[in-house]
Amino acid sequence: MRLSTHLKSIPPTQALAFGRHFTDHWFFAKYSKAKGWYEAAVEPYGKVALDPGASVFHYGQALFEGMKAFSQSDGSISLFRPQFNVDRLAHGAERLCLAPPPPELFLAGLKQLLKVDSRWVPREPGCSLYIRPTLIGTEGFLGVRPSNEVMFFILLSPVGSYYSNKSSTLRIWIENKALRAAPGGLGATKAGANYAASLQAALIAKEKGFDQVLWLDVEHKGIEEVGTMNVFFVFKDEIVTPALNGSILNGGMRDSVLQWLRQDKKTVVERKITVNELLERQHKGELREAFGTGTAAVISPVGEFCYENECFKVGDGEVGPVSKKLYQDISDIQYGRTPDKFGWMKALEKL
């Protein structure tokens, strides 16, 4: 371990735009078929030197996770469902033909890094420390095959609310041309390529005044995700989220919301839902709420959808009771304000 001799100034809470600031250090480890995992270390945050022929540049061998650490009322630090991210990274690594870091390496490196940069964990309500574990192919070669060399690294970034006004709802454009992912592709992993594929449609939507895009399946009928989040719909008689189908990411917050809804005795269903069903149920007055779920924003209520030439409000266009209670209850668990009956939180000292 080599520590920085020039520590950065921690930005004020109001300046914590998502992913704009990084802590003093990062963790990294290297892998090769000949050596296995080696050179694991915490070092000062800095530049990465890679061969211009590295497979991450030419063949997109890049995978990442999104996690968070939270300051607790007693001043300690806890993480939200870290094992879920360890397991999902390993699953995605297999799909991208990348050697996954052993779980003990992943968690030990993360623990060491968090201890070194613990002063960066925000204490203010609504703030947290975002964690970005990343896995890339680093071997320099030209030829389509998996990289025999890999780098795993972890970055830390203090964050505030993902959206500048968390009390407002989102305007969503239902995309009927571009695709985020296709069956048999990489949609079920957090591959960098998924996000590259989403940028153009999202940019066009934002230029038209929308906050995000609702992604449809390859036939442009079935609903899949909203922006970079899983999506839920609260109808008159049930709460529906699209079933995992190989092109939808198994989100940690999605899974947590499902657990929370079921323990709260809500009728929640994982199944295919089409945009036509959404329109029909809205016309009947049965669509009460819609919201996205994800690590960054937790719960993102939707106030309006627009599809082709039709725009319609969700409920009264404001944050609904289910969304509001979900956000509050999950946040209370994350910050240690209420007991964690789900076993989601892991104390840093017990990693």
pTM comes to 0.96
pLDDT-flagged residues of the chain (< 50): none
Domains of the chain (ranges; CATH) run 13-160 (3.30.470.10), 170-334 (3.20.10.10)
- Identify the bridge partners of residue 56 per DSSP, sorted by sequence position: none
Transcribe 263-328 into DSSP letters.
Answer: HTT--EEE---BHHHHHHHHHTT-EEEEEEEETTTEEEEEEEEEETTEEEESTTSS--HHHHHHHH
Per-residue confidence (pLDDT) for residue 15, from 0 to 100 = 87
Burial class (CB in 10 A: 0-12, 13-18, 19+), 64: buried
Rounded CA gap, 52 and 138, in Å? 9
Instruction: State the maximum Cα–Cα separation within the chain, in Å, rounded to a whole number.
Output: 63
Per-residue confidence (pLDDT) for residue 151, from 0 to 100 = 98
Specify whether the CB–CB gap between 56 and 108 falls below 8 A. no
CA dist list (Å): 126 to 14, 137, 232: 11, 35, 22
Structure tokens at 260: 């929370």
Q: What is the pLDDT of residues 198-240, one digit of tens each?
A: 999 999 999 999 999 999 999 999 999 999 999 999 999 999 9
CA dist list (Å): 19 to 23, 105, 106, 158, 333: 11, 24, 21, 7, 23
Q: Could you give the residue ranges of the DSSP H alpha helices within the chain?
A: 55-58, 82-95, 103-116, 192-207, 252-263, 275-283, 321-334
